[in-house]
DNA sequence: ATCGTTCTTGTAATCGTTTACAGGCCAGAC
DNA sequence: GTCTGGCCTGTAAACGATTACAAGAACGAT
């Protein structure tokens, strides 16, 4: 005995399948009709088939969220916000991890043409011509949480990293720190490039020279630890004697910052007394780590929320002109800076 | 100009739709047929429609993973493992957050009957009759990562919390700690109940009495902070003078442990010198926090992996007898214990 | 040359819905 | 009493794939 279909319900209720469908979708019908159908539905335990419905109406009521790394707490923040918006609108969320390669992202975007989701919200870490092209040609609506060229003709919601960098540098300078270093993630990524540029500009605005800079191989905790010694000139006694040791480090995200702090502790350097540390993303990790981390809030929750809203809006009306929203940063000051 | 269908490809190639379908699915066909179909597919940029395919073959090639809180790093670990297994098998992963209420879980399980996924992997935090019933009656295969009664007749993969507790206590006792306290999450949850029982048993095995116990309102960082003062007898000078302050605290998960460590620091207590702290789950957070956290590894990655494998196996053959797998714990010793 | 087998291909039914269209019925207006 | 118009309801055609079945072609054996 397999699950009942709408035809079974129609038979049990002694009405036509069209009437059953109408009642189920809340279209006008007489008292009695509604009553009979509902009883039959109850009795048979009928539940409409999402697959069949999807085929007919051309919608799956699913949205895909693609991120590079589910382990990055900034995506947790974003995912929470997205999930809240889309589930309120009656959609389910399909979460996909793309990994660090742009080819995987392209494959994902192309694959959307299969129609298993009604829209895609992607936060690409690397962007190239192919990706832009695939997004432009994508069969389903796409919203990018991040930075892609305007010619992609797609809704975007992005952070303002340079402004965020400036907030961080302002704060450090106000506290008397001038030997500021930068721990970046891979510079060939979108956030990596933006933050690097922002850092340089922000220092220039204060007439400062970078004290040191390093590039971790990933935006992860481990990569942060690995890259830290190089940044701090460990093993280079001359540099340290010359007081070239930075008195503050800005990190391209919170995970890198936490990795760095572990290395600082291992070297016997105190945070913030010897070295102040600033993270970016203001993720949950920033208040969980010790000392709590001063972090640039790039508005990940808001970006997630607004990106989800844009996506829903575009699904309603695919002809609207693409919007490019920029979310303004703020600084969450905690204990890792004086 | 809408997207091409299989009929369009058939027309362009001058063959029948059946032939196109066969070529696309790798069924035997002549060189020439394959050639013509592939060229037409290329030219039109045809991509088969997942919705239509789902309806016909009765499969969506999606699996749902339901967890209570995406912010809990243990679920990140589990999700990674699950995603790896299912995507290797050609499935997509739909991640759903149920929240702390069992009614939401029941609604989710019931909703699976709509058929938008081929299977469900659920890690329920609270379990009642209704949930067990809904799981037993579920239209699609279900695997539970956690503890449900055998009568649910469902595949389960669970941790061995009592054994894990014993490992933690053994370790603390070996290091000379005897005034051991327990910071639990809500005791009316499955993990909360199991860990509470395990704690009591483990102490008894060492002829010890619990020094203190507290129950956080959630398995979260914030709840851990809030519950910590009560556990430590803050404000009760007599207790502290009587040396009733615990010299070790075992926490029901890593988030609670990190929350506790922040409160300890605020009180000027050193970890592990004054108070040793042990977490459970051995999540990424355990090595990211400071000091790094000794934590009971309850095998979340392995549980995720094996649960995913069970789910795939059951999708292949729904008649196999349910298996109940128990994953053994181990202890990851770090700096929060002596 | 004929028959039977095997291999390939095409026709058409099917999956479970939604929905355009048409038919039936009733009420109100003349 | 008849006609018009407005509800409800039912019939049947989609949606886009897969696949059972049949028919035709090719080929070897007799």
- Percentage of chain B with pLDDT > 90? 88
Fold classification of A161-297 (topology level)? Rossmann fold (3.40.50)
Q: Would you state the pLDDT for residue B233?
A: 81
Q: In angstroms, what separates the C-alpha of A287 from chain B's closest C-alpha?
A: 9
Question: With an 8 Å Cβ cutoff, are A60 and B113 in contact?
Answer: no
Name beta bridge partners: A329. Answer: none
Q: Does A55 touch chain B (CB under 8 A)?
A: yes
Distance in angstroms: CA A219, C1' C9 = 55
Q: Please name the residue whose C-alpha is nearest to the C1' of nucleotide D12.
A: A18
Say yes or no: Cβ of B56 under 7 A from any atom of strand C.
yes
Average pLDDT over residues B49-63: 95
3-state per-residue secondary structure call for chain A: CCCCCHHHHHHHHCCCHHHHHHHHCCCCCCHHHHHHHHHHHHHHCCCCCHHHHHHHHCCCCEEEEEECCCCCHHHHHHHHHHHHHHHHCCCEEEEEECCCCHHHHHHHHHHHHHCCCCEEEECCCCCCHHHHHHHHCCCCCEEEECCCCHHHCCEEEEECHHHHHHHHHHHHHHCCCCCEEEEECCCCCHHHHHHHHHHHHHHHHCCCCCCEEEECCCCCHHHHHHHHHHHHCCCCHHHHHCCCCCCEEEECCHHHHHHHHHHHHHCCCCCCCCCEEEEECCCHHHHHCCCCCEEEECCHHHHHHHHHHHHHHHHHCCCCCCCEEEECCEEECCCCCC
Q: In angstroms, what separates the C-alpha of B94 from chain A's closest C-alpha?
A: 4
Residues 251-270 of chain A with CB under 8 A from chain B are 255, 258-259, 261-262, 265
Average pLDDT over residues B78-98: 93
Distance in angstroms: CA B112, C1' D21 = 35
- Of all residues in chain A, the one with the smallest CA distance to B292 is A262
Q: In angstroms, what separates the C-alpha of A204 from chain B's closest C-alpha?
A: 33
Q: Would you state the pLDDT for residue B244?
A: 72
Give the whole-angstrom CA distance, residue A147 versus residue A127.
8
Nearest to A55 among B52, B92, B96 (CB): B52
User: Residues 39-68, chain A: which have Cβ under 7 A from strand C?
Assistant: 46, 48-49, 51-53, 55-57
Q: Would you state the pLDDT for residue B239?
A: 54
Fold classification of A62-159+300-329 (topology level)? Rossmann fold (3.40.50)
Inter-axis angle of helices A6-13 and A17-24, to 10 degrees?
A: 100
Give the whole-angstrom CA distance, residue B278 versus residue B267.
18
Q: Would you state the pLDDT for residue B100?
A: 84
pLDDT digits (tens, 9 = 90+) for B250-262: 999 999 999 999 9
Q: How far is CA B180 from CA A211, B155, B172, B296, B322, in A?
A: 47, 35, 8, 16, 39
* Fold match, A6-48 / A161-297: no
pLDDT digits (tens, 9 = 90+) for A116-157: 999 999 999 999 999 999 999 999 999 999 999 988 899 999
Instruction: Beginning with the edge strand found earlier in the chain, give each strand of the sheet holding B62-67 in spatial order.
Output: A324-327, A155-159, A142-145, A119-122, A62-67, A92-97, B92-97, B62-67, B119-122, B142-145, B155-159, B324-327
Distance in angstroms: CA A18, C1' C19 = 8
Residue whose structure tokens are 């189920």: A24
Q: Would you state the pLDDT for residue A3?
A: 86
Give every residue of chain A whose pLDDT is below 70, as ranges.
1, 235-243
B221 contact residues in A (CB cutoff 8 A): 284, 287-288
Q: Please name the residue whose C-alpha is nearest to the C1' of nucleotide D14.
A: A56
Nearest nucleotide to the CA of A30, by C1', is: D8
Positions of chain D reached by protein Cβ under 7 A: 7-12, 14-20
Q: Would you state the pLDDT for residue B114?
A: 94
B151 pLDDT above the threshold of 60: yes
Q: Would you state the pLDDT for residue B234?
A: 74
Q: Would you state the pLDDT for residue A29?
A: 87
B204 pLDDT above the threshold of 60: yes
Q: Does A322 touch chain B (CB under 8 A)?
A: no
Domains of chain B by residue range: 6-48, 62-159+300-329, 161-297
B240 pLDDT above the threshold of 70: no
Distance in angstroms: CA B224, C1' C4 = 81
At the fourth CATH level, which superfamily is domain B6-48? lambda repressor-like DNA-binding domains (1.10.260.40)
Distance in angstroms: CA A284, C1' D8 = 57
Q: Would you state the pLDDT for residue A108?
A: 95
């Amino acid at each position: 005995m397999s699950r009942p279909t709408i035809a079974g319900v129609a038979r049990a209720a002694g009405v036509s399948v069209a009437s059953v469908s109408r009642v189920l979708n809340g279209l006008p019908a007489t008292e009695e009709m509604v009553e009979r159908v509902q009883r039959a539905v109850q009795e048979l335990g009928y539940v409409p088939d999402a697959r069949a419905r999807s085929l007919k109406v051309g919608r799956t009521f699913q949205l895909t969220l693609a991120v590079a790394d589910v382990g990055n707490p900034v995506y947790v923040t974003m995912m929470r916000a997205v999930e809240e918006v889309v589930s309120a609108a009656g959609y389910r969320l399909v979460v996909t991890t793309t990994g660090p390669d742009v080819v995987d992202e392209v494959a994902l975007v192309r694959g959307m043409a299969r129609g298993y989701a009604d829209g895609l919200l992607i936060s690409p870490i690397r962007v190239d011509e192919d990706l832009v092209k695939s997004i432009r040609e994508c069969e389903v609506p796409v919203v990018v949480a991040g930075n892609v060229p305007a010619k992609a003709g797609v809704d975007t919601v992005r952070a303002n990293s340079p402004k965020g960098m400036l907030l961080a540098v302002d704060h450090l300078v106000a506290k008397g720190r001038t030997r500021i270093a930068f721990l970046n993630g891979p510079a060939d990524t979108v956030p990596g490039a933006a933050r690097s540029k922002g850092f340089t500009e922000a220092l220039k605005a204060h007439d400062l020279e970078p004290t040191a800079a390093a590039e971790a191989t990933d935006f992860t905790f481990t990569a942060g630890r690995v890259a830290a010694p190089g940044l701090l000139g460990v093993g280079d006694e001359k540099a340290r004697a010359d007081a070239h040791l930075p008195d503050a480090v800005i990190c391209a995200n919170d995970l890198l910052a936490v990795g760095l702090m572990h290395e600082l502790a291992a070297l016997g350097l105190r945070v913030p007394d010897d070295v102040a540390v600033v993270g970016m993303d203001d993720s949950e990790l920033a208040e969980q780590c010790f000392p709590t981390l001063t972090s640039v809030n790039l508005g990940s929750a808001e970006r997630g929320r607004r990106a989800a809203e844009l996506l829903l809006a575009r699904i309603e009306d695919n002809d609207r002109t693409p919007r490019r929203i920029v979310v303004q940063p703020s600084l969450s000051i905690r204990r890792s800076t004086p």
